[in-house]
Structure 1
Amino acid sequence: MPAKIRLEVITPERVVFDDDIEMLVARAIDGDIGIMAGHTPMVTALEIGVMEIKTGEEEIPVPISDGFMEVKSEKINVIVRTAELPKEIDVERARRAKERAQRRLREEKSRIDEARAEAALERAKARLRAAEDRQRAMSYSEE
């Protein structure tokens, strides 16, 4: 059995995930990074995207906003503005948010509004990607 490491995913509102895992794959500021038990301690900034949590029994896609990851010998701490488990994603709401962000990008003229719209678009796309990944994984297990 592969060694496991504790993962805690925290937002300002709640603890989204707290369990032992085999591997975490996340988008750091300089590219994707995989963390397993025994990884060198580190701290890195995270970008908006979908983290993959591999527990051994399942792979869980978790859309996150920007934040930080701290890796210690016994634990990974992920601290982000937003994160949600696939079962919590409202796909229709994410689609509407994506459309709204795309419309704003076409219409907005200020840099601040453009940056906000781009971030909203990336968050919506991450949610949809995680929901689709989860749906695909569920259909494979039913076959």
Structure 2
Amino acid sequence: MADSPLTSGDLKLIVVTPESTALDVAAEFVALPLFDGEIGIGRTHAPMIGRLGFGELRYKVGSQTSTYYVDGGFVQVQDNIVSVLTNRAISPKDINAAAADDQLQEALARKTSNPEEMAIRERLVLQARAQKRVAVKR
């Protein structure tokens, strides 16, 4: 994605996955799913590092709000730069809602016999539900 010129009222949003830089844009506001809720980030936000959950990343440029699905990871905010490191960043138009529904059904049917298997099942359920929520909003 092409760089947008940064103005004095903007944040720089950079979203990086293991494969590529998914986003590198100027934004007025960014909302991210943390593992325990959601956070909104505006200009001059206090420096922070947070653990991401699975869900919808939103950013606003002018009157337009754009979204992406992010698959966990970390966020760092410092000097009006929002850096997101995530396993996956997917545009809503690229989310396969049927595949997410299949993943959800398989995860719910998955048998577990120990805490590790339960954690894996919970992660799969959270991922599938978050993808479905983002896909429905498009």
Range into which the TM-score falls when normalised by the shorter chain: 0.7 to 0.9
d(CA) in 2 for partners of 1:22, 1:90:
29
Unaligned runs of 5+ in 2: 1-6
Match of 1:123 in 2: 127
d(CA) in 1 for partners of 2:128, 2:53:
14
Name the structure with the higher strand share. 2
Q: Is the 8 A contact 1:2 1:22 kept in 2?
A: no
d(CA) in 2 for partners of 1:92, 1:63:
15
RMSD of aligned alpha carbons: 1.9
The two structures have a TM-score, normalised by structure 2, of 0.85
- State the shift of 1:79 in Å: 0.5
SS in 2 for 1:37: coil
d(CA) in 2 for partners of 1:128, 1:97:
10
- State the shift of 1:29 in Å: 4.1
Q: Is the 8 A contact 1:64 1:81 kept in 2?
A: yes
Match of 1:59 in 2: 65
Unaligned runs of 5+ in 1: 135-143
d(CA) in 2 for partners of 1:101, 1:38:
41
Match of 1:111 in 2: 115
d(CA) in 2 for partners of 1:110, 1:6:
43
1:132 aligns with 2:136: yes
Aligned residue pairs total 132
Q: Is the 8 A contact 2:45 2:80 kept in 1?
A: no
- State the shift of 1:58 in Å: 2.3
d(CA) in 1 for partners of 2:121, 2:88:
16
- State the shift of 1:30 in Å: 4.6
d(CA) in 2 for partners of 1:67, 1:28:
9
